[in-house]
Chain A
Amino acid sequence: MDATTAMYVAQGLHGLAYGMILFLVASGLTLIFGMMGILTLAHAAFFMLSAYFSYQVMQMTQNFWLALLIAPVVAGIVGVLCERFLIRRVHVMGHIGELILTVGISLVILDAVKAIWSTDSLYVDIPECLQGLVSIVGMEYPIYRLFIIGLALLVLIFMALILYKTRLGMIVRAAVSDADMVNALGINVPLVFMLVFGVGTWMAGVAGVAIAPILTVFPGLADQMGMDAYIIVVVGGFGSLSGAFLVSIIFGLLSSYGVQFVSQLAPILMFIFMAIVLVIKPVGIFGERE
């Protein structure tokens, strides 16, 4: 394979890996914002928090796998607590209340993180078995990025199975489409929603741990990713996992090829894409409802 093609393939894989990370964050947001209709701007803050937790676990145990296991769960628990004691109470006020509350939560998390871990970039090592390069059709590519793609796919399949093949998933989908009815059938809907919120936060946490070795851990981690995840949920259509998946991949590829061809304008491409989609179809690509 000649150098140019190899470069295209490498950029494509890079884009895919970034798209997959985006999808991990965005799919959690699809659950919370798209399906349950909770406008949370704290999602990216949990993502960042999980990255810091993973750093802390790595510091204590030197074990990446343990970090991958523990950090997202702890972040998920923090998310559940926020939902149970704060967000649930303002849900009746509609989106403005949630907006302000979650901005407040993310400000508090951000400042707490700065106070505990300082504002420096913290480095997390890639585990030994994932270091190094692998040769794909005559081209060297870092194993770790392939691992991210695999991890995201795994989480995606796991979630799709739960959502569409289990009784729990059925209850969740029913509760999303008509909470009152499901409640009347004797199912504890607030508990279901709390669980979904926790799972959504956990997924953002997984993405946070996965990205920590690549980008290093710093307080600004939440900004870029949070915005991108938001745009993906909106462009893909509220509550549509396949929409979020498609748009995540498109955004990943847009950003990696964009950097290659029009490096100056790469970040604008996403917003132009979003603006075009929303002007044509305000509910998003796969969106059916508001």
Chain B
Amino acid sequence: MMNKTTKWILWSVLLVFLIIYPLVFGIYYTNVFVTFAIAALYAVAIQMLLGFTGFLSFGHAMYFGVGAYGTAIALVHIKGLPLIVSVLFGFASALLLALVMAPLVVRLSVTAFAMIHMAFGMLAYTLALKLRNITGGEDGIGAFPIPPLRIPGVFSIDMTDPTNFYYFAMVILGVSIWILWFVTKTPFGCLMVGIRDNANRIDYLGFKLPQTKAVLYLLVGGFAGIAGSIFALFQNLISAMELYIMHSFIQIMQIMVGGIGSFFGPILGAGVFAVLEELTSRYTQRVELVIGLILILVIMYFPTGLIGMYHHFKTRFFTRQAD
């Protein structure tokens, strides 16, 4: 185990890296990093459901999308809305959707859970496509005003500047990821793992299964909504395409590539995907081919993902085993 000093050093190195990153790498890579960070929060939230509690969802893009639309629509219709409140709008609208969905889904088995999410996810997608006067259809909602971050009379920071927005996004996303990490360390987090490993036993111990799942479900939906909200602010555009089912699958793939069941796996997976997309789109036209091949290779040869690979090699080369 790492001792406290090394841990603090590592955290401060990470912090310094995040702070100087936009100064060193310029605007383009800053934006790439924000995209990655959004995907990371989204994947971490899904991982709470998939890796920790064992529920596969094929439709969580709807929470991402509803969060994004919530923020965008609030900014279009309410003049002078503060930035933080607009993010809270995204969070709240995703939470509201989760609140409506929770009673329907918490008692379902794993397969039915996945399928019903696919149904509602596609319903959300087609609704976003067809309710043109609210969501803008294929064109989506774009060019809405991005309010500056300000406390009246104290300071006001322009958020249309990429570097400023980078810091803002890092704080929001970082705090969100930290909250989710904290949740996994609480007794509630242990309960989640317990539900995954042996739901009956948790039930016999006297915990209320549906209610526990509902709380977790709200949490996951809400934080997916925050990721969506930041995405909408970052792109200054949200269209129905973000709700498409592929955007539910990509997160599952990132989790698999990173490592299922570990907290930092999805972040790693999101990073791998970001780098891959960056590299493949630069050197070849055939992005899908490369990603498809990598998915096939990963699942055939490293089904536990990168984190699993790390543990495999660690035990193989760096630990002594009694024969």
Q: Which of the candidate stretches A202-210, A243-251, A263-271 sits at the interface with the other chain? A: A263-271
**Contact B249 A99, beta carbon cutoff 8 Å:** yes
Since A90-B303, A96-B50, A290-B112 are in contact, a sample of 19 more A-B pairs with Cβ atoms closer than 8 Å, ordered by chain A residue number, is A86-B296, A93-B303, A100-B253, A103-B292, A104-B291, A104-B292, A107-B292, A108-B293, A108-B296, A111-B286, A111-B289, A231-B118, A272-B123, A274-B119, A274-B122, A278-B119, A279-B104, A279-B116, A290-B109
Binary flags per residue of A112-128, CB closer than 8 Å to B gives 1, else 0 = 10010000000000000
CB distance from B95 to the nearest CB of A (A): 20
* Category for how many chain A residues contact B: 35 or more
Q: Could you show 18 A-B contacts with beta carbons less than 8 Å apart?
A: A90-B303, A95-B56, A97-B256, A100-B298, A103-B253, A103-B295, A104-B294, A107-B288, A111-B288, A231-B122, A267-B129, A267-B130, A268-B127, A271-B119, A275-B123, A278-B116, A279-B104, A279-B116
CA distance A264 to B116 in the complex (A): 24
CA distance A99 to B299 in the complex (A): 10
CA distance A155 to B120 in the complex (A): 32
**Is A283's beta carbon under 8 Å from chain B?**
yes
**Is B260's beta carbon under 8 Å from chain A?**
yes
**Is B156's beta carbon under 8 Å from chain A?**
no
**Is A101's beta carbon under 8 Å from chain B?**
yes
**Contact B299 A97, beta carbon cutoff 8 Å:** yes
**Is B126's beta carbon under 8 Å from chain A?**
yes
Q: Which 10 A-B pairs have the closest CB atoms?
A: A107-B292, A104-B295, A111-B289, A282-B112, A271-B123, A108-B292, A104-B296, A274-B119, A104-B292, A111-B288
Most A CB contacts (10 A, CB to CB) among B50, B119, B288, B289 go to B119
**Is B111's beta carbon under 8 Å from chain A?**
yes
**Is A225's beta carbon under 8 Å from chain B?**
no
**Contact A86 B286, beta carbon cutoff 8 Å:** no
**Contact B122 A95, beta carbon cutoff 8 Å:** no
Q: Which residues of A contact B296 (CB under 8 A)?
A: 86, 101, 104-105, 108
Most B CB contacts (10 A, CB to CB) among A89, A105, A267, A272 go to A267
Binary flags per residue of B97-126, CB closer than 8 Å to A gives 1, else 0 = 000000010001101101110111011001
**Contact A227 B292, beta carbon cutoff 8 Å:** no
**Is A230's beta carbon under 8 Å from chain B?**
yes
What is the number of residues of chain B that contact chain A, defined by CB distance less than 8 Å? 38
Q: Which residues of A contact B123 (CB under 8 A)?
A: 268, 271-272, 274-275
**Is A44's beta carbon under 8 Å from chain B?**
no
Residues of chain A touching chain B, judged by Cβ–Cβ distance below 8 Å, are: 41, 86, 89-90, 93, 95-97, 99-101, 103-108, 110-112, 115, 227, 230-231, 234, 264-265, 267-268, 271-272, 274-275, 278-279, 282-283, 290
Identity of the chain A residue whose Cβ is nearest the Cβ of B298 in the assembled complex: A100
**Contact A264 B256, beta carbon cutoff 8 Å:** no
**Contact A100 B111, beta carbon cutoff 8 Å:** no
Taking CB atoms and an 8 Å cut-off, the chain B residues in 265-323 that contact chain A are 286, 288-289, 291-296, 298-300, 303
**Is B245's beta carbon under 8 Å from chain A?**
yes
Q: Which residues of B contact A234 (CB under 8 A)?
A: 115, 118-119
**Is B233's beta carbon under 8 Å from chain A?**
no
